[in-house]
Amino acid sequence: MVKKVLLSEKIDQAGIDLLEKNNFKVEVSKGPDTENMKQGLRDAYAVIMRSTPLNKDMIDAAPELKIISRNGTGFNAVDVDEATKKGILVARVNGANSNAVAEYVLTTMLTLSRNIINADHVLKDKKNELQHGGSLPNFADKYSLNGHELTDKTLAILGLGHIGRITAQYAENFGMNVIGYDPYLKQNQVKWPLFSNLADIYSRADFLSINMPLTAETKNMITMKQMKIMKNTAIIINSARGGIINEQDLAVALNNNIIAGAAVDSFNPEPPAADNPLFTARNVILTPHMAGTTFEASEAVGIGAAQAIIDFANGKMPQFTINPGVFKK
């Protein structure tokens, strides 16, 4: 009997091709909402989830489901407890998009610190003024468009896993000082100074990169209280998960010059509501959960998510599992 793999949303074609080559039937759900997912899951052997939720109702409607494969790293949107109760393995893909996320962090740091977006807008808006003479450097001075270098600035990284470490290496190539916080690491495991007191790391940071999963411990980890500890020139980059930083507080902090800028790639909830205050906040870059979805990374993640299902069907433990205790050969 051909086993069906349901996709909550389409993944990279390379992952689909790999599943079909291994004799799986691949079907894309009519929508990632509960009712459409319940319908698609009724006869599914496996499901691949992107960032949309897989809740208890969906799992309970899937009597044939044996494995949930995340097309990515984070698994906070999957009801792992319910899956475990039903003996369903939950797998994810680690490391395949690490370079992409690290590049996103550096890209947004450079864009914000050099005032690139504002400079682009002002130059286009004031183009007629340029026709009256004067130099472009003087124009940049007039409208305060000059930014800051990364060299000798301090990057504080919350979470020194694979992504955090690559980000740290990239930052060092720019001549930055790197410090970190990771309660699961000991100092002898990394070469960068680790801080156990978050207040100490916040006060030192010129840039703060969030690279931690969303858990009960990290939810609302950064609120107005923490941002008031930071320099008013500091920039925050959240390429991890929405909910770690309080979005209401972040918007207030940006609009009141408590911090200088931010880049936000993930929201809570997703997609963000139309009245999310970050849409009207000053000096913030908002992107649609794309930090880890370059063409190269999407292909690698899609293949990884597919391979987890293929391995499982062949009686092999997938490489990265959340609840390995339910695995039975």
Which tens digit of pLDDT belongs to each residue from 145-190? 999 999 999 999 999 999 999 999 999 999 999 999 999 999 999 9
Q: What is the pLDDT of residue 1?
A: 83
Band of pLDDT at residue 133, cut at 50, 70 and 90: confident
Q: What is the pLDDT of residue 20?
A: 98
Among positive and negative, which fits the CA dihedral 79, 85, 89, 93? Answer: positive
Q: What is the pLDDT of residue 239?
A: 97
Please write the tens of the pLDDT for every residue from 182-219: 999 999 999 999 999 999 999 999 999 999 999 999 99
> What is the rounded average pLDDT for all residues in the chain?
96
Residues 60 and 130: their CA atoms lie apart, in Å, by 65
Active site residues: 241, 270, 289
Q: What is the pLDDT of residue 134?
A: 87
Residues 159 and 211: their CA atoms lie apart, in Å, by 5
Please write the tens of the pLDDT for every residue from 85-113: 999 999 999 999 999 999 999 999 999 99
Residue 329 has pLDDT above 80, yes or no: no
Residues 102 and 167: their CA atoms lie apart, in Å, by 5
**pLDDT over 70, % of the chain:** 100
Q: What is the pLDDT of residue 144?
A: 96
Q: What is the DSSP string of 188-248?
A: GG-SSPB-S-HHHHHHH-SEEEE-----TTTTT-B-HHHHTTS-TT-EEEE-S-TTSB-HH
Please write the tens of the pLDDT for every residue from 8-59: 999 999 999 999 999 999 999 999 999 999 999 999 999 999 989 999 999 9
- 30, 5, 101: which is closest to 298 by C-alpha? 101
Q: What is the pLDDT of residue 233?
A: 98
Reported as half-sphere exposure (CB side, CA atoms, 13 A), residue 12 has a value of 21
Q: What is the pLDDT of residue 132?
A: 85
pTM: 0.90
Residue 118 has pLDDT above 80, yes or no: yes
Q: What is the pLDDT of residue 149?
A: 98
Q: What is the pLDDT of residue 60?
A: 97
Distance of CA 102 to the CA centre of its chain: 10
Catalogue all structural domains in the chain, each as residue range(s) with its CATH number: 3-96+295-326 (3.40.50.720), 98-286 (3.40.50.720)
Contact in structure between 145 and 118 (CB atoms under 8 Å): yes
Contact in structure between 105 and 167 (CB atoms under 8 Å): yes
Band of pLDDT at residue 74, cut at 50, 70 and 90: confident
Please write the tens of the pLDDT for every residue from 244-260: 999 999 999 999 999 99
Please write the tens of the pLDDT for every residue from 22-35: 999 999 999 999 99
Band of pLDDT at residue 328, cut at 50, 70 and 90: confident
